[in-house]
A and B are shown apart, each in its own frame.
Chain A
């Protein structure tokens, strides 16, 4: 969104630091007990669902499916890692394979659009040409468009050329669907770079190509990282595109495999569903916790995608 990309990116972790500054002195409203209790309750409500999932994923089959997970606090112990072993190796569930597929889908779908978008963003930010504004405004308006507007025609086309069910098919789809957001984020970042630097490069006789990859690209690393993280998580968490263009089977990513092998099947025990669910969250949670700052920036810019 326009409003949010132009404001300085403030991650959850950064904010707490600034809170000690003028904000803290300026707003003498300190947390009373009511505030603390209210926030404590909210945080508790937010975490409990996931906590239940996490605990259940380590419980034995019979325990998990006959007693509530909160009963473990009464008699501790009796945990097992068997559920994880089962969902990863059981050929009917095969989440290990799905995990690899998710990586195989997400990496190219993240990195290939980056460079293509960076070039286009450079042109939008630093070159003057007729039609530039209208071409960029088209991209802004396309951010709102739901990507399934193109599913029917692309599916037909994939049927003809044999791209259905292949990794290449989803890669291309994610490149296409992610492109407008990538250009939007990168271009909006590039226009904030100091114009004097670009000008002096021009004066020194650098071509556009040189200015781009020697100067603008290295200076745009924060924006590139934001988009990369956002796009990686978006592709990793995506169900719709994967379901339509890959579907269940040997190339299915985590989301599709969990939906089809664990959630649809009657009889998959909660011990397995929870283990599978938690496995699908590990990568995004790690990315989120370690790169929170970049993630927030990409997110605020790209929340409209889909």
Chain B
């Protein structure tokens, strides 16, 4: 135990030391070169280690994954589009896609809507009230989804009828005269998926609130005043004056949440492992890889996800360019 901790510390020191040494050497090498070559080569030497890490861990593996998606389960023979057609024609995978799509639609919309509502409401409180309420709502963002799962599994816990309910939700249902429900197994109208989404909303809304609140505070006061003088009500002011001015932040929050949702894995994996029709792409990827040992199918799933992400990627790059130009 002590050994592991000290190893970690030694690694930090050694790792940082090695990094410094590498840069010092790279810098020396550059200085050995004749004048104009030094200036030409140096930038590339500076970004070399970082780009090496990115290339080794993201770019090159992505290319390999693309290749694997057209090969069989052990990546030995080419199978064309077999992985894709097999997946897309299976009923279960179609359900997985539908679930993923539901996540992508529902979670970002509710994150923005509730985040905006909380930001507006807390903006009206005194400083202390605002601070406390924001911290409380923001806090779940810091904890892991595994930690959140211990919280929410307990909340959704189910005991057969007649026994005392220890899960809060079922206890309330019984209190109101209903029968206890095994919540995570209820897939009518995707109820269980919705309950899992609630977990992500719980964790994400604080983040939306913080960004939106900052944007709302940035709205110039005279625009509000002008609207008020013209006789606009609070609701009109909000929708016609405030919202148009914070549109950029709203889109940012929406896109950011969308990206988070598309990558989601832990919530569903820990809560249901994709059973009871709650499966999503991230969990299906994991199960293809570690339960079915099917590299081809796992790779095909990521490739589909990547294709779906291309528009977002283009949007991000464009957005960044626009920001830089401004």
Contacts from A to B (Cβ < 8 Å): 1-4, 6-7, 10-13, 15-20, 22-23, 25-27, 29-31, 35-36, 38-39, 42-43, 46-50, 52-53, 56, 64-70, 96-97, 100-101, 103-105, 107-108, 111-117, 119-120, 122-124, 127-129, 132, 135, 137, 139-156, 167, 171-173, 175-177, 179-180, 183, 207-209, 233, 236-240, 243-244, 254-255, 258-259, 262-263, 270, 273-274, 276-278, 280-281, 284-285, 287-289, 292, 295-296, 299-300, 303-304, 306
Question: From residue 290 to 324 of chain B, which have CB atoms closer than 8 A to chain A?
Answer: 290, 295, 298-299, 302, 305-306, 309, 312-313, 316-317, 319-324
Known contacts A66-B166, A233-B142, A280-B146; A148 and B282 CB within 8 A of each other: yes
Whether the Cβ atoms of B320 and A16 lie closer than 8 Å is no
| Smallest CB separation, A24 vs chain B (Å) | 8
Known contacts A17-B127, A120-B47; A149 and B302 CB within 8 A of each other: yes
Q: For the complex, what is the distance from the CA of A146 to the CA of B266, rounded to whole Å?
A: 13
Known contacts A116-B19, A129-B43; A149 and B65 CB within 8 A of each other: yes
Residue-wise, chain B 19-50 has the 8 Å CB interface mask toward A (1 for contact) of 11001100100010000000010111011011
Number of A-B contacts (CB under 8 A): 399
Whether the Cβ atoms of A277 and B210 lie closer than 8 Å is no
Closest A-chain residue to B209, C-beta based?
Answer: A12
Question: From residue 152 to 177 of chain B, which have CB atoms closer than 8 A to chain A?
Answer: 152-155, 157, 164-166, 168, 171
Whether the Cβ atoms of A49 and B202 lie closer than 8 Å is yes
Q: How large is the interface on B (under 10, 10 to 19, 20 to 34, 35 or more residues)?
A: 35 or more
- Residue pairs across A and B with Cβ atoms less than 8 A apart, 30 shown, are A2-B316, A12-B131, A43-B132, A43-B137, A49-B168, A67-B164, A70-B171, A97-B1, A103-B5, A111-B15, A113-B53, A120-B49, A135-B51, A141-B317, A144-B259, A144-B316, A146-B309, A149-B65, A152-B299, A154-B61, A167-B8, A180-B58, A208-B27, A237-B144, A274-B150, A277-B149, A292-B138, A303-B207, A304-B316, A306-B260
Q: For the complex, what is the distance from the CA of A156 to the CA of B76, rounded to whole Å?
A: 13
- Check: B245 CB closer than 8 A to any chain A CB: no
**Max count, chain B CB within 10 A of own CB: residue among A48, A101, A113, A129:** A129
Closest A-chain residue to B288, C-beta based?
Answer: A152
Chain A residues lying within 8 Å of B140, measured Cβ to Cβ, are 46, 50
Closest A-chain residue to B290, C-beta based?
Answer: A244
Q: For the complex, what is the distance from the CA of A38 to the CA of B119, rounded to whole Å?
A: 12
Q: For the complex, what is the distance from the CA of A143 to the CA of B64, rounded to whole Å?
A: 19
Whether the Cβ atoms of B210 and A240 lie closer than 8 Å is no
